[in-house]
Amino acid sequence: MIELRNVSLKYGEKEILKKVSLTVKDNTIKAILGPSGVGKSTILKLMLGLIKPNSGQVIVDGTDITGMKESALYAIRRKMGMVFQGNALFDSLTISQNLGFFLRENMKLPEEEISQRVAEQIQFAGLEGYEDQLPESLSGGMRRRVAIGRAMIFKPHMILFDEPTAGLDPVSSKKILSLISSLRHNNNLGAVIVTHIIDDVFNVADSVAVLYQGEMIFDDVTEKLHESNHQFIRSILSDKILEL
Protein backbone atom coordinates (compact mmCIF):
# COMPACT_ATOMS: atom_id res chain seq x y z
CA MET A 1 0.00 0.00 0.00
CA ILE A 2 2.76 2.48 0.96
CA GLU A 3 6.46 2.43 0.14
CA LEU A 4 9.34 4.81 0.83
CA ARG A 5 12.39 4.26 -1.38
CA ASN A 6 15.70 5.73 -0.26
CA VAL A 7 14.02 8.86 1.09
CA SER A 8 16.23 11.65 2.41
CA LEU A 9 15.01 14.91 3.91
CA LYS A 10 16.71 18.01 5.27
CA TYR A 11 15.40 21.04 7.11
CA GLY A 12 18.05 23.64 6.38
CA GLU A 13 21.33 22.01 7.34
CA LYS A 14 19.69 19.45 9.63
CA GLU A 15 19.40 16.01 8.09
CA ILE A 16 16.13 14.44 9.30
CA LEU A 17 15.96 11.26 7.23
CA LYS A 18 18.91 9.48 5.60
CA LYS A 19 18.02 7.12 2.73
CA VAL A 20 15.06 5.64 4.55
CA SER A 21 13.25 2.74 2.88
CA LEU A 22 10.03 1.32 4.26
CA THR A 23 7.16 -0.86 3.03
CA VAL A 24 3.64 -1.03 4.49
CA LYS A 25 1.53 -3.89 3.13
CA ASP A 26 -2.26 -4.01 2.85
CA ASN A 27 -4.16 -5.32 5.87
CA THR A 28 -1.15 -5.18 8.18
CA ILE A 29 -0.19 -2.96 11.10
CA LYS A 30 3.22 -1.33 10.86
CA ALA A 31 4.76 0.51 13.81
CA ILE A 32 7.43 3.18 13.49
CA LEU A 33 9.29 3.36 16.78
CA GLY A 34 11.74 6.00 17.95
CA PRO A 35 12.34 8.89 20.33
CA SER A 36 10.80 12.34 19.91
CA GLY A 37 12.29 14.52 17.19
CA VAL A 38 13.79 11.64 15.24
CA GLY A 39 11.49 12.08 12.22
CA LYS A 40 8.68 9.58 12.84
CA SER A 41 5.83 12.06 12.30
CA THR A 42 7.72 13.43 9.31
CA ILE A 43 7.33 10.02 7.66
CA LEU A 44 3.54 10.27 8.03
CA LYS A 45 3.61 13.70 6.38
CA LEU A 46 5.62 12.24 3.50
CA MET A 47 3.09 9.44 3.09
CA LEU A 48 0.29 12.02 2.82
CA GLY A 49 2.24 14.18 0.42
CA LEU A 50 2.20 17.11 2.87
CA ILE A 51 5.95 17.49 2.45
CA LYS A 52 8.34 16.39 -0.29
CA PRO A 53 11.65 14.55 0.19
CA ASN A 54 14.90 16.00 -1.05
CA SER A 55 15.59 12.68 -2.74
CA GLY A 56 13.98 9.28 -3.05
CA GLN A 57 10.41 8.23 -3.85
CA VAL A 58 7.12 7.90 -1.98
CA ILE A 59 4.77 5.32 -3.53
CA VAL A 60 1.12 5.05 -2.46
CA ASP A 61 -1.00 2.23 -3.89
CA GLY A 62 1.31 1.93 -6.88
CA THR A 63 1.44 5.67 -7.62
CA ASP A 64 4.60 7.75 -7.19
CA ILE A 65 3.40 10.86 -5.34
CA THR A 66 6.86 12.41 -4.91
CA GLY A 67 6.41 15.11 -7.52
CA MET A 68 2.64 15.15 -7.59
CA LYS A 69 0.85 18.50 -7.50
CA GLU A 70 -1.44 19.39 -4.60
CA SER A 71 -4.54 19.25 -6.80
CA ALA A 72 -3.81 15.62 -7.69
CA LEU A 73 -3.08 14.51 -4.13
CA TYR A 74 -6.68 14.66 -2.91
CA ALA A 75 -7.58 11.30 -4.47
CA ILE A 76 -4.44 9.74 -2.97
CA ARG A 77 -5.15 11.10 0.51
CA ARG A 78 -8.68 9.71 0.34
CA LYS A 79 -7.07 6.27 0.52
CA MET A 80 -5.58 7.09 3.93
CA GLY A 81 -7.18 8.29 7.14
CA MET A 82 -5.13 10.34 9.61
CA VAL A 83 -5.50 10.34 13.41
CA PHE A 84 -3.56 13.26 14.87
CA GLN A 85 -2.03 13.15 18.33
CA GLY A 86 -4.14 16.13 19.40
CA ASN A 87 -7.27 14.64 17.76
CA ALA A 88 -7.97 17.89 15.82
CA LEU A 89 -11.69 17.90 16.62
CA PHE A 90 -13.91 20.95 16.19
CA ASP A 91 -14.74 22.17 19.71
CA SER A 92 -18.04 23.81 18.70
CA LEU A 93 -19.42 20.76 16.86
CA THR A 94 -21.08 17.72 18.42
CA ILE A 95 -19.55 14.28 18.04
CA SER A 96 -21.94 13.44 15.17
CA GLN A 97 -21.19 16.76 13.48
CA ASN A 98 -17.45 16.20 13.84
CA LEU A 99 -17.76 12.79 12.23
CA GLY A 100 -19.88 14.00 9.32
CA PHE A 101 -18.17 17.35 8.70
CA PHE A 102 -15.68 16.33 6.02
CA LEU A 103 -18.20 14.13 4.24
CA ARG A 104 -20.51 17.12 3.87
CA GLU A 105 -17.66 19.42 2.84
CA ASN A 106 -15.88 17.16 0.37
CA MET A 107 -18.23 14.50 -0.95
CA LYS A 108 -21.55 14.85 -2.75
CA LEU A 109 -23.35 12.19 -0.75
CA PRO A 110 -27.04 12.04 0.15
CA GLU A 111 -27.70 13.08 3.74
CA GLU A 112 -29.12 9.62 4.40
CA GLU A 113 -25.78 7.98 3.53
CA ILE A 114 -23.85 10.50 5.62
CA SER A 115 -26.09 9.75 8.60
CA GLN A 116 -25.58 6.04 8.08
CA ARG A 117 -21.79 6.36 7.96
CA VAL A 118 -21.82 8.52 11.10
CA ALA A 119 -23.94 5.93 12.91
CA GLU A 120 -21.55 3.16 11.85
CA GLN A 121 -18.56 5.01 13.30
CA ILE A 122 -20.42 5.89 16.49
CA GLN A 123 -21.04 2.18 16.98
CA PHE A 124 -17.49 1.18 15.98
CA ALA A 125 -15.97 3.61 18.47
CA GLY A 126 -18.38 2.61 21.24
CA LEU A 127 -19.81 6.13 21.56
CA GLU A 128 -23.54 5.37 21.55
CA GLY A 129 -25.34 7.95 23.67
CA TYR A 130 -22.68 10.62 23.11
CA GLU A 131 -23.74 11.69 19.62
CA ASP A 132 -24.91 15.15 20.74
CA GLN A 133 -22.09 15.83 23.20
CA LEU A 134 -19.33 18.37 22.55
CA PRO A 135 -15.71 17.11 22.58
CA GLU A 136 -14.88 19.01 25.80
CA SER A 137 -17.38 16.83 27.69
CA LEU A 138 -15.57 13.62 26.73
CA SER A 139 -12.51 11.97 28.23
CA GLY A 140 -9.21 11.98 26.35
CA GLY A 141 -9.69 8.37 25.32
CA MET A 142 -13.19 9.02 23.99
CA ARG A 143 -11.98 12.01 21.97
CA ARG A 144 -9.29 9.80 20.46
CA ARG A 145 -11.96 7.27 19.51
CA VAL A 146 -13.96 10.04 17.79
CA ALA A 147 -10.83 10.95 15.83
CA ILE A 148 -10.42 7.32 14.75
CA GLY A 149 -14.07 7.18 13.64
CA ARG A 150 -13.63 10.38 11.65
CA ALA A 151 -10.53 8.96 9.93
CA MET A 152 -12.49 5.85 8.95
CA ILE A 153 -15.59 7.58 7.67
CA PHE A 154 -14.16 8.04 4.17
CA LYS A 155 -13.64 4.24 4.03
CA PRO A 156 -9.88 4.44 3.42
CA HIS A 157 -7.49 1.52 2.84
CA MET A 158 -5.02 2.58 5.52
CA ILE A 159 -5.13 4.59 8.77
CA LEU A 160 -2.14 6.62 9.96
CA PHE A 161 -1.78 7.17 13.71
CA ASP A 162 0.50 9.74 15.33
CA GLU A 163 1.17 8.59 18.93
CA PRO A 164 -2.29 7.00 19.37
CA THR A 165 -1.99 6.32 23.12
CA ALA A 166 0.15 9.29 24.19
CA GLY A 167 -1.26 11.02 27.28
CA LEU A 168 -3.93 8.39 27.90
CA ASP A 169 -4.45 6.33 31.04
CA PRO A 170 -3.88 2.54 30.82
CA VAL A 171 -7.58 1.68 30.45
CA SER A 172 -8.10 4.20 27.63
CA SER A 173 -4.87 3.07 25.95
CA LYS A 174 -6.08 -0.53 25.98
CA LYS A 175 -9.36 0.49 24.32
CA ILE A 176 -7.53 2.45 21.61
CA LEU A 177 -5.18 -0.46 20.89
CA SER A 178 -8.17 -2.80 20.71
CA LEU A 179 -9.79 -0.50 18.13
CA ILE A 180 -6.59 -0.44 16.09
CA SER A 181 -6.41 -4.24 16.15
CA SER A 182 -10.02 -4.46 15.01
CA LEU A 183 -9.20 -2.39 11.92
CA ARG A 184 -7.29 -5.33 10.53
CA HIS A 185 -9.36 -8.20 11.92
CA ASN A 186 -12.86 -6.79 11.37
CA ASN A 187 -12.45 -4.10 8.72
CA ASN A 188 -9.61 -5.48 6.53
CA LEU A 189 -7.69 -2.22 6.89
CA GLY A 190 -4.01 -1.57 7.40
CA ALA A 191 -2.43 0.91 9.78
CA VAL A 192 0.78 2.80 10.40
CA ILE A 193 1.48 3.70 14.02
CA VAL A 194 4.08 6.22 15.07
CA THR A 195 4.91 5.70 18.72
CA HIS A 196 7.55 5.91 21.46
CA ILE A 197 5.79 3.28 23.60
CA ILE A 198 7.25 -0.14 22.90
CA ASP A 199 4.44 -2.03 24.63
CA ASP A 200 2.03 -0.58 22.04
CA VAL A 201 4.22 -2.10 19.33
CA PHE A 202 4.10 -5.59 20.83
CA ASN A 203 0.35 -5.31 21.46
CA VAL A 204 -0.79 -4.50 17.91
CA ALA A 205 1.99 -4.34 15.30
CA ASP A 206 2.76 -7.08 12.78
CA SER A 207 6.07 -5.42 11.96
CA VAL A 208 8.12 -2.55 13.31
CA ALA A 209 10.64 -0.11 11.89
CA VAL A 210 13.01 1.57 14.36
CA LEU A 211 14.21 5.04 13.45
CA TYR A 212 17.39 6.27 15.11
CA GLN A 213 19.46 9.34 14.21
CA GLY A 214 17.66 9.62 10.88
CA GLU A 215 18.32 6.04 9.82
CA MET A 216 16.21 2.90 9.84
CA ILE A 217 18.19 0.54 12.07
CA PHE A 218 15.57 -2.23 12.15
CA ASP A 219 12.63 -3.23 9.94
CA ASP A 220 11.18 -6.68 10.44
CA VAL A 221 8.38 -8.62 12.10
CA THR A 222 7.82 -7.44 15.67
CA GLU A 223 8.90 -10.71 17.32
CA LYS A 224 12.42 -10.38 15.88
CA LEU A 225 12.99 -7.12 17.74
CA HIS A 226 14.23 -9.21 20.68
CA GLU A 227 16.93 -10.70 18.45
CA SER A 228 18.54 -7.36 17.62
CA ASN A 229 21.95 -6.63 19.09
CA HIS A 230 21.83 -2.90 18.33
CA GLN A 231 22.61 -1.00 21.52
CA PHE A 232 19.73 1.45 21.10
CA ILE A 233 17.18 -1.32 20.57
CA ARG A 234 18.52 -3.27 23.55
CA SER A 235 18.12 -0.16 25.69
CA ILE A 236 14.50 0.51 24.65
CA LEU A 237 13.57 -3.12 25.22
CA SER A 238 14.74 -2.80 28.80
CA ASP A 239 13.25 0.67 29.40
CA LYS A 240 9.87 -0.10 27.71
CA ILE A 241 9.26 3.60 26.89
CA LEU A 242 11.39 6.17 25.12
CA GLU A 243 12.04 9.55 26.65
CA LEU A 244 9.98 12.32 25.07
Beta bridge partners of 191: 29, 159
Average pLDDT over residues 45-61: 95
Distance (Å, rounded) from C-alpha 81 to C-alpha 65? 17
Report pLDDT digits (tens) over 54-70.
Answer: 999 999 999 999 989 88
Instruction: Check if the beta carbon of residue 3 is closer than 8 Å to that of residue 219.
Output: no
User: pTM for the whole thing?
Assistant: 0.89
Query: What does DSSP say about strands 190-195 and 158-162: parallel, antiparallel, or unpaired?
Result: parallel
Instruction: Check if the beta carbon of residue 186 is closer than 8 Å to that of residue 136.
Output: no
Beta bridge partners of 2: 24, 60
Residue type, 240: K
The percent of residues above 90 in pLDDT, for the chain, comes to 66
Distance (Å, rounded) from C-alpha 7 to C-alpha 53? 6
Distance (Å, rounded) from C-alpha 129 to C-alpha 118? 13
Average model confidence (pLDDT) across the chain: 90
Distance (Å, rounded) from C-alpha 198 to C-alpha 32? 10
Domain ranges in the chain? 2-233
Distance (Å, rounded) from C-alpha 225 to C-alpha 222? 6
pLDDT at 244 over 70: no
Span 2-233: which CATH code? 3.40.50.300
Query: What does DSSP say about strands 63-64 and 55-60: parallel, antiparallel, or unpaired?
Result: antiparallel
CA atoms within 13 Å, Cβ hemisphere of 23 = 5
Q: What is the DSSP string of 143-164?
A: HHHHHHHHHHTT--SEEEEEST
What angle separates helix 95-106 from helix 140-152, to the nearest 10 degrees? 20
Q: For residue 183, what pLDDT is reported?
A: 85
Apex 22 CA angle, 161 and 87, nearest 5: 10
